[in-house]
Amino acid sequence: MSAASTSPRVVVAGLVFFEIDVDADDFSVAPGRERFVRRMELGFGGALNTASVMRALGLDVTLAYPAGEGIADHAIARAVETLRIADHTWRAPDDPAISLVLQYPNDRAFVTAAHFASLAECPGLPDAEHIHVPGLEEAHALAPRLREARAQGASVSVSGSWSPNRLASLLGDEVPWNLLVLNETEARTAAGSVDAALSDITQVADIVVTLDDRGAVGRVDGVRFAVPAREVVVHDHTGAGDAFAAGFVAARLAKKSGAEAATLAVEVAARQLMTAGGVARRADVFADLLEPT
């Protein structure tokens, strides 16, 4: 286990994915044949996306994730070190999270191997003011640790991710978080419509739904709001949702209202859309957005 910083303001807890990006058109190969493509992009995703954007926004962040001793594990550890993000790890099978990312003109699809059970082995999370988990499956596995953190005074946020069974159970399950961030498809899967999600997911105090190029809507502190999107020339869709969640949490920690937080989060996501990959490698992209607190 690596040493974490003392009392970080934010812990991002979940799987860190080693990602291999390929063009979807290049992915059809007949048995016994080999197809050569121009290149394959290697990168990282999952919890590292959100943690890196929070770090770029100036937050004191610790990334908590399971890690083994595989090739991908060592690459992830090096990336975390390079980004100067404090880490808190525990033992897992080698390379517990790998995704093949199929790139389409306006979207992506994933073929993923993820060892969610390794999250349940988390011995405990560092003390923090806020904990963010970038997926419902991960939040389910970490639920005992999240309840402990909330009992100690931390707020907890979760991003939906595509997990139909978990989304379908949101209306009936007791949940260990107080902020849920969904995209439009996730909200419709969970509650039938975005409006229903805003009014019916009563187990969480706050909910925010992103609407792609139409901005975001939400209910925070009992107040509903809608904020517009910012028009941008998209370079890469990767990590936009993670960036939105990072911006929203950062703004809430800076005591912004729900509408103010969503406005800043939309701007953070827009800037991420204009850069390559989901990991924020340049702090200057976001440095002017949030005053130090």
Q: What CATH number does the domain containing 228 carry?
A: 3.40.1190.20
Contacts (Cβ under 8 Å, ≥6 apart) of 32: none
How many folded domains does the chain comprise? 1
Q: Tell me whether residue 167 is in a domain.
A: yes
Range from 70-74, 118-122, 198-202, 264-268 carrying the lowest mean pLDDT: 198-202
Q: Tell me whether residue 228 is in a domain.
A: yes
Q: Once rounded to an integer, what is the mean pLDDT over residues 43-61? A: 93
Q: Tell me whether residue 2 is in a domain.
A: no
Q: Tell me whether residue 111 is in a domain.
A: yes
Q: Tell me whether residue 102 is in a domain.
A: yes
pTM score:
0.91
Is the model's pLDDT at 2 over the cut of 80?
no
Q: Tell me whether residue 159 is in a domain.
A: yes
Q: Tell me whether residue 290 is in a domain.
A: no
Is the model's pLDDT at 4 over the cut of 60?
no
Q: Once rounded to an integer, what is the mean pLDDT over residues 278-292? A: 69
Q: Tell me whether residue 291 is in a domain.
A: no
Q: Would you say 182 and 198 are in contact if contact means Cβ atoms under 8 Å apart?
A: no
* pLDDT confidence tier of residue 169, bands split at 50, 70 and 90: confident
Structural domain of residue 145, as residue ranges?
Answer: 10-28+39-285
